[in-house]
Amino acid sequence: MKALFIGDVVGGPGRRGLAAAMPGLKEKHSPDLVVVNGENSAGGMGITERTAGELFDTGADVITTGNHVYRHREVYDFLDRTDRVIRPANYPHANPGKGHTVIEVAGTRVGVINLSGGVGLTVSRNPFHEVDAILARIEADIVIVDFHAEVTSEKVAMGWHLDGQVAAVLGTHTHVPTADARVLPRGTAYISDVGMTGSRTSVLGVKPEQALESLIAQMPVKFETAEDDVWVMGAVVDVNDKGLADSIEAVLVPVSP
């Protein structure tokens, strides 16, 4: 089975870029499963039912999120109603949404788990304890983990912690693709960050001049989503019949000049 994972989709430029690139990605990689991180899909921060719908229209089977998932209150009810958009599992149990899901792909049960890092981000439970608890009860043949975390040390540690237990640990949140994609010794594909789907002429998807003004002046600045030089970033994982990875390949595709 091949799984295509798409990194943080940032605003309208990211959504449109993904829609434009997906036919080519499907032709090249023939994925059986498409997972998209959509936590920045609505105006560059947060997700709504409408933007989730656009991501599903591109071919997403499951949408993961992260620390901006609750930015738009109108999405709360949708998160409770759907099994295909998930939020970090180690958020408070009473929060809207679910932390993992299981879907059937070509007769195979595929679990997708969304976790948030505990270093530099706010969580209710340790992500290592949380993923252990989920794996103890999940009924799936293949498991893919989106680890939405701030620091690479915590991400790398999660890769080693889950090596041999899941097909892939794919890092998101920092929007900058890392060069450490590999299959760990026991068969888990790992990358610290798959990058973002959005404008590279930006600071993590924000217009550069606005990000610079905020950093230099140390004053509130309204951020707008940058639109130029859109790239689709992610990873493709080839999963074997043991539910572990044979390979991982970074995806870095320019959409517009």
Question: Is 29 considered catalytic here?
Answer: no
Question: What pLDDT score was predicted for residue 58?
Answer: 96
Question: What pLDDT score was predicted for residue 206?
Answer: 87
Q: What percent of the chain shows pLDDT beyond 90?
A: 96
Question: What pLDDT score was predicted for residue 256?
Answer: 65
pTM: 0.96
- Rounded-to-integer distance, Cα 25 and Cα 31, Å: 8
- Rounded-to-integer distance, Cα 192 and Cα 177, Å: 8
Q: What's the average model confidence in pLDDT over 149-154?
A: 97
pLDDT at residue 240 greater than cutoff 80: yes
The model's pLDDT over 133-145, given as tens digits with 9 standing for 90+, comes to 999 999 999 999 9
- Rounded-to-integer distance, Cα 55 and Cα 234, Å: 15
The model's pLDDT over 77-106, given as tens digits with 9 standing for 90+, comes to 999 999 999 999 999 999 999 999 999 998
- Rounded-to-integer distance, Cα 206 and Cα 160, Å: 33
The model's pLDDT over 115-126, given as tens digits with 9 standing for 90+, comes to 999 999 999 999
Question: What pLDDT score was predicted for residue 106?
Answer: 85
Kindly list the structural domains of the chain, giving each domain's residue range(s) and its CATH number in brackets, ordered by start: 2-254 (3.60.21.10)
Contact present, 30 and 1 (Cβ < 8 Å): no
- Rounded-to-integer distance, Cα 44 and Cα 223, Å: 9
For residues 122-155, one letter each, b for 16 or more C-beta atoms within 10 angstroms of the residue's C-beta and e for the rest, the string is ebebebbebbeebbeebebbbbbbbbbbbbeebb
| Active-site entry in 29, 68, 100, 175 | 68
What is the pLDDT confidence band of residue 108, given thresholds at 50, 70 and 90?
A: very high
The model's pLDDT over 162-196, given as tens digits with 9 standing for 90+, comes to 999 999 999 999 999 999 999 999 999 999 999 99
pLDDT at residue 48 greater than cutoff 90: yes
Q: Strand, coil or helix: what is 35?
A: strand
Mean of all residue pLDDT scores within the chain: 96
